[in-house]
A and B are shown apart, each in its own frame.
Chain A
Amino acid sequence: MAKRILLAFVAIALVVAGAYASFFVAPTERTMGLIQRIFYFHVGSAWAGMDAFFVCFIANLLYVWRREPQYDSLGVSCAEVGLVLTTVVLITGPIWAHPVWGIWWTWDARLTATFVLWLLYVSYLLLRSLIEEADRRALHSALFGIFAFIDVPLVFFSIRWWRGMHPKPVVMGDPGSGLDPTMNKVFFFNVLAMHVLAAFLIVERYLLEQMTHDVADLRQEVEAQ
């Protein structure tokens, strides 16, 4: 319990410090102005979301291989947290896009791939809610989760492979791309903050899933008597 409270405190402190750095430490971008400050929160959430889906993918593979319920719990926890982070990306993106592009949304490759990613993980969670038997639910959702992860590299590489409205990557991008050194530090601080927040939420969600299994086992015990 003490470790969970400590993790919560660290996550909140880092997220607040990250926001402070985004507003008051990072310099104002020359062409976009203030609105570019959404970048730190938007991209930090996107990276943490994709990493949550990656852990979900590994947990799904491990479940298919070893059929141990803790991998199913980890898979669903990461999928839910990844979905929440992707929701934040899909909300903050249009708020940033509107003053810059003059439109809220366009069916650009990056935006479409991200929206499809969101739909895939909504489907993953819906699929779980439709299957009652625990082992079948775990196996089917693990197989679907492995399939859904195919979209994550597509999201990542979409701005490298295809031209669109979404800006080209400024971090790990083409030669000549890059960020101002202070912006770079603020950016990676925010990436760290969002990863710690994601880790905290995954731990909380995992413990909830374990408790769900405990309740199901106890219910069976009570019904058997």
Chain B
Amino acid sequence: MKNLDSVFAAYLIGWAVFFVFYLTIAKRTANLRAELARLKNSLPRPK
């Protein structure tokens, strides 16, 4: 079982990179959604 820890480390770090990237996309999307809602509210409503 030599180097098993290195194999696990490679897979875990790799998955963490993908997960963090996905989280940044989700966070940026949530921020933009909030901004979009704020801008829509600031537009005058049609009568």
Contacts and interface: CB of A to CB of B under 8 A. Distances in A.
Nearest to B41: A222
Contacts of A38: 6-7, 10-11
Contacts of B35: 215
Interface stretch (A95-103, A134-142, A145-153): A95-103
B7 A88 contact: no
Nearest to A212: B32
Nearest to A83: B21
Interface in A1-50: 15, 19, 23, 33-35, 37-38, 41-42, 45
For chain B, the bracket of interface size reads 20 to 34
A133 interface: no
Interface residues of A, number: 37
Contacts of B10: 38, 41-42, 91-92, 95-96
Interface in A27-80: 33-35, 37-38, 41-42, 45, 80
Contacts of A23: 7
Contacts of A218: 36, 39-40, 43
A123 interface: no
Contacts of A214: 36
Interface string A170-211: 000000000000000000000000000100010011011001
Contacts of B6: 35, 38, 95-96, 98-99
Contacts of B33: 211
B45 interface: no
Interface of B: 1-4, 6-7, 9-11, 13-15, 17-18, 21-22, 25, 28-29, 32-33, 35-36, 39-40, 42-44
15 contacts: A19-B11, A34-B2, A34-B4, A38-B10, A41-B11, A95-B6, A95-B9, A98-B6, A197-B18, A201-B21, A205-B25, A207-B29, A211-B32, A215-B32, A225-B44
Interface of A: 15, 19, 23, 33-35, 37-38, 41-42, 45, 80-81, 84, 87-88, 91-92, 95-96, 98-99, 197, 201, 204-205, 207-208, 211-212, 214-215, 218-219, 221-222, 225
Given A34-B4, A215-B32, 12 more contacts: A19-B11, A23-B7, A33-B2, A34-B3, A41-B10, A88-B13, A91-B10, A95-B10, A208-B25, A215-B35, A215-B39, A221-B43
